[in-house]
Structure 1
Amino acid sequence: MIGSQLAQQTIYNGQRVTSASSFLRSVIKERRERLHIVGRAHVRQIVFEEGEDRRKRASGVIYVRDDVEVKVRARKEVIVSGGAVGSPQLLMLSGIGPKQHLNDMGIPIVADLKGVGQNLRDHVYAPVPIHSPNLTEGIAINDNVLFTSAFQYLLRGTGPLGYVGVDAQVLGRSSHAKTRSPDIQLILLSAEWTMANIEANQNNLNYKQEYVDRLRKRGEEHDTKTISNFLISNGLLKPASVGYIKLRSSNYLDHPVIQPNYLSNQKDVEIMIEGFRLLEKLEKTKPFKEIGAKMELSALNCGDETQSPR
């Protein structure tokens, strides 16, 4: 283990701060002539034009707002900042990407770039339920704490509701680490995991119905609605598994095909297991013993023990 620290949070007056609220809203009024922000707009395509040297350059974009297409010309350049999913999708819709894939989608080719949409490396985080019978009342954010803290938050912006729910992290290096930087991250989330919030967030977090049914059955068998008192996420910081993003069709409204290939590389599996071994060491520490904190892996139907490959 390298060490631990309190989680850094971007919060101001009890509210989570975004890039927009931090850097845009404060200057919008004084820069109206130079900064134009269009809301409810979806960019459909980057426009390319051929110059005198016969080289194609991005000259603008076409976006759709309220079912109306608008073409905007760029004086200097077009900056694509749609994220790890949106950027490659927009590039391929505009004709930049693997030639064969664009041909399959019926999209005219602007540039044959095989790397567009490739080398997707998404971080895997496994939520680990922690059962803690001796936990002090009020530490975990459960339904009772949410109710009693509502007025504190509304009046002063403080209390349990005035932060994002991520408390601390532990960083570690696995046996596969080739540098001094960590490749294991354990994140503490002080939120009680109950059937009520699982069912409430089933659609938002895309829980499978069989998963929800299994947790409900376990709760009935143990006569409890609490799955865990708090969570610790075991995560990969440097995944070796490589995925890809492809277009589902030439329609910009269709979600792209996202194939992360999670844990397809055995190295990632072994590092995840070492993350669980690190959690086992935390179970043996004095603070964990005082509150009786232990991993409850059976809640996820993955058994009580994880076999180590070493």
Structure 2
Amino acid sequence: MTKSHDFIIVGGGSAGSVLAARLSENADASVLLLEAGGGDRHPLYHLPAGFAKMTKGIGSWGWKTVPQTHMKGMVIPYTQARVLGGGSTINAQIYTRGNALDYDEWRQMGCDGWGYDDVLPYFRRSEDNDTYDNRFHGTGGPLGVSQPAAPLPICEAYFEAAASLGIPRNHDMTGEAQDGVGYYQLTQRNTRRCSASMGFLTPAVRKRPNLTIRTGAQVSRIVVEGGRAIGVEIAGEGVLRAEAEVILSSGAIGSPRLLMLSGIGPADHLSGLGIPVVFDQPEVGSNLQDHLDLFVIAECTGPHTYDRYAKPHWSVLAGLQYLLMRKGPVASSLFETGGFWYAEPDARSPDIQFHLGLGSGIEAGVAAMPDGGVTLNSAYLRPRSRGTVRLASADPMAAPLIDPNYWQDPHDREMSIRGLKLAQEILRQDALNPFVKAERLPGPEVRSDQEYFDFACAHSKTDHHPASTCRMGPDPEAVLDTSLRFRGIDGLRVADASVMPRLVSSNTNAPTIMIAEKAADLIREAHGI
């Protein structure tokens, strides 16, 4: 055995960064954070507009879904972070939390301590909000949360267009009400990305003598002896021992993947791959939930978005504008405008989320307009379909089999297409006429239900919100108890988006940070630190 630590955290993403910072606040607790990817020093990780490069490979594993059975065999790129800070280092920096009723629903499902009133203090504790300090928001926390620095006139026209359809303006979609359209707040500070690694693992935190951060550390398995997780194995190094707990924070794909590689998961699946079964837990890697994104792309009447800055001479100008004034396209997340509304009129809260993309072809697999365009994404927020994460082989370096099983439930398909049609209606309103020349995708030729289905099967993407593959719950079938402890193995805890009993109605980065904040308190209470 090599040197032991009290806590070993596997996965240096949003949750892992929070846990490492919070647990190492106690100088007597020895903490090791292991991240399979690299560090976050590359400048693109810190520029807000760097997101445009992220879904095309930077800081990502490069995984894809399996062919989607209910979408004509479509294979979708599935960006999962491989860098310190995880998703918060490569995402569009949108700060949303879901709806208050999401968390109250968790509580109603038996997850005591996870209702909205229970989790709101953890959201506030993380925040350093540049605009609000009230019941819903906090200041002075590690995570910078800011108003957008680079909105464009087309954003205000979008608000007017939505208003003409009865969708109100909302100036704070993480406040008292979620309904409406507006500017998203962003995880930025001083017009730079504030990832969880930059916010929580500051230079001072990284220098703590009781905290060790290792990048490029690929864990091959969790080591279990006598029904207890006693450490982890790194190829070529042997076992690193955890005296108190192994905490798995590798995300909704990575966490079940590592559990199964460790022999913890569905016994029949593991046996079929020749992996010795350590603990039979059928729900590991099950219940995968994600938001499927459909989009409208329109050609613009002029340079109303940031598309032209993709050209070399314009990109130089954009760089200078950012350096001198902290404005312009480099200061934009490119998706800082959006909102929440209804596909189903009697839904208990908004069930559609919009993201207005200030350009076209921003993300991998999305078409670009030669003369510039604007994108309006729509995602159905409460899918009924459930998918899986499984192993392709026993090789720790092999890509997992990711199957979100999109549209397995026909209700999801109906609501998704309603959301797409609503996005089309917004872009067709008079307020946007000075900006929008013509809709190009789906285009006027798409009219019938079958044509919308065919379009979606050729032009859909993940919203990058996988969750629930190691769900917590009060029932014995749940992978975790409501303190996030693995049910059946001592000394093992999971803390990331995989623990959600049901996917929240929004982006998932802020909820993941909240989960880690609460997990840190649960761990400190359990060990008296």
* TM-score (structure 2 length as normaliser): 0.48
Deviations 1:44-77 (A, max 9, x none): 1001111xxxxx010100123xxx3231111101
Task: Report what 1:287 is aligned to.
Answer: 431
Give the AA of the match of 1:253.
Answer: M
For the residue of structure 2 that corresponds to 1:100, the secondary structure is: helix
Q: CA deviation at 1:260?
A: 1.3
Task: Report what 2:406 is aligned to.
Answer: 262
Judging changes above 3 Å, is the alpha-carbon distance between structure 1 residues 266 and 191 closer, same or farther for their aligned structure 2 residues? same
Whether 1:150 aligns to 2:294 is no
Deviations 1:61-114 (A, max 9, x none): 0123xxx32311111011001101000000011111111011101111121111
* Aligned counterpart in structure 1 of residue 382 of structure 2, from 214, 238, 249: 238
Task: Report what 2:499 is aligned to.
Answer: none
Q: Which structure 1 segments of 5+ residues have no match?
A: 51-55, 216-223
Count of residues in Structure 1 that have an aligned counterpart in Structure 2 = 271
Whether 1:116 aligns to 2:284 is yes
Judging changes above 3 Å, is the alpha-carbon distance between structure 1 residues 24 and 123 closer, same or farther for their aligned structure 2 residues? same
* Aligned counterpart in structure 1 of residue 352 of structure 2, from 184, 192, 195: 184
Cα distance in 2 for residues equivalent to 1:292 and 1:154? 30
Judging changes above 3 Å, is the alpha-carbon distance between structure 1 residues 157 and 297 closer, same or farther for their aligned structure 2 residues? same
Task: Report what 1:7 is aligned to.
Answer: 184
Equivalences for residues 77-226 of structure 1 within 5 A: 77-133=245-301, 135=302, 137-142=303-308, 143=310, 145-175=314-344, 178-179=347-348, 181-193=349-361, 205=364, 207=365, 225-226=370-371
Are 1:297 and 1:303, in contact at CA under 8 Å, matched by a contact in 2? no
Task: Report what 1:38 is aligned to.
Answer: 214
Cα distance in 2 for residues equivalent to 1:192 and 1:89? 34
Cα distance in 1 for residues equivalent to 2:356 and 2:429? 15
Whether 1:307 aligns to 2:439 is no
Give the AA of the match of 2:384.
Answer: A
Judging changes above 3 Å, is the alpha-carbon distance between structure 1 residues 171 and 294 closer, same or farther for their aligned structure 2 residues? farther
Are 2:304 and 2:435, in contact at CA under 8 Å, matched by a contact in 1? no
Between structure 1 and structure 2, the one with the greater Rg is: 1
> Greater CA deviation, 87-96 or 3-12?
3-12
Q: Which structure 2 segments of 5+ residues have no match?
A: 1-166, 168-178, 453-529
Cα distance in 2 for residues equivalent to 1:150 and 1:126? 31
> Greater CA deviation, 83-92 or 106-115?
106-115
Give the AA of the match of 1:278.
Answer: L
Q: CA deviation at 1:129?
A: 0.7
Cα distance in 1 for residues equivalent to 2:287 and 2:420? 27
Are 2:385 and 2:405, in contact at CA under 8 Å, matched by a contact in 1? yes
Q: CA deviation at 1:182?
A: 1.4
Deviations 1:27-56 (A, max 9, x none): 335512x11111111111001111xxxxx0
Give the AA of the match of 1:123.
Answer: H
Q: CA deviation at 1:274?
A: 1.2
* Aligned counterpart in structure 1 of residue 394 of structure 2, from 250, 253, 261: 250
For the residue of structure 2 that corresponds to 1:258, the secondary structure is: strand
Cα distance in 1 for residues equivalent to 2:440 and 2:274? 50
Q: Percent identity, please.
A: 31
For the residue of structure 1 that corresponds to 2:197, the secondary structure is: helix
Deviations 1:9-40 (A, max 9, x none): 112233212111111124335512x1111111
For the residue of structure 1 that corresponds to 2:228, the secondary structure is: strand
Are 2:257 and 2:390, in contact at CA under 8 Å, matched by a contact in 1? yes
Judging changes above 3 Å, is the alpha-carbon distance between structure 1 residues 305 and 167 closer, same or farther for their aligned structure 2 residues? farther
Cα distance in 2 for residues equivalent to 1:238 and 1:27? 40
Are 1:15 and 1:163, in contact at CA under 8 Å, matched by a contact in 2? no
Cα distance in 2 for residues equivalent to 1:306 and 1:63? 54
Instruction: Name segments (4+ residues, structure 1) moved above 4 Å.
Output: none
Deviations 1:249-293 (A, max 9, x none): 111111111111122221111111211231243134332123235
Cα distance in 2 for residues equivalent to 1:139 and 1:296? 16
Task: Report what 1:18 is aligned to.
Answer: 195
* TM-score (structure 1 length as normaliser): 0.79
Judging changes above 3 Å, is the alpha-carbon distance between structure 1 residues 241 and 295 closer, same or farther for their aligned structure 2 residues? farther
For the residue of structure 1 that corresponds to 2:253, the secondary structure is: helix
Are 2:305 and 2:374, in contact at CA under 8 Å, matched by a contact in 1? no
Are 2:339 and 2:355, in contact at CA under 8 Å, matched by a contact in 1? yes
Give the AA of the match of 1:238.
Answer: R
Cα distance in 1 for residues equivalent to 2:244 and 2:257? 23
The two structures, once aligned, show a CA RMSD in angstroms of: 2.6
Judging changes above 3 Å, is the alpha-carbon distance between structure 1 residues 291 and 19 closer, same or farther for their aligned structure 2 residues? same
Give the AA of the match of 1:160.
Answer: P
Q: Which has the higher contact order (CA 8 A, sep 6+)?
A: 2
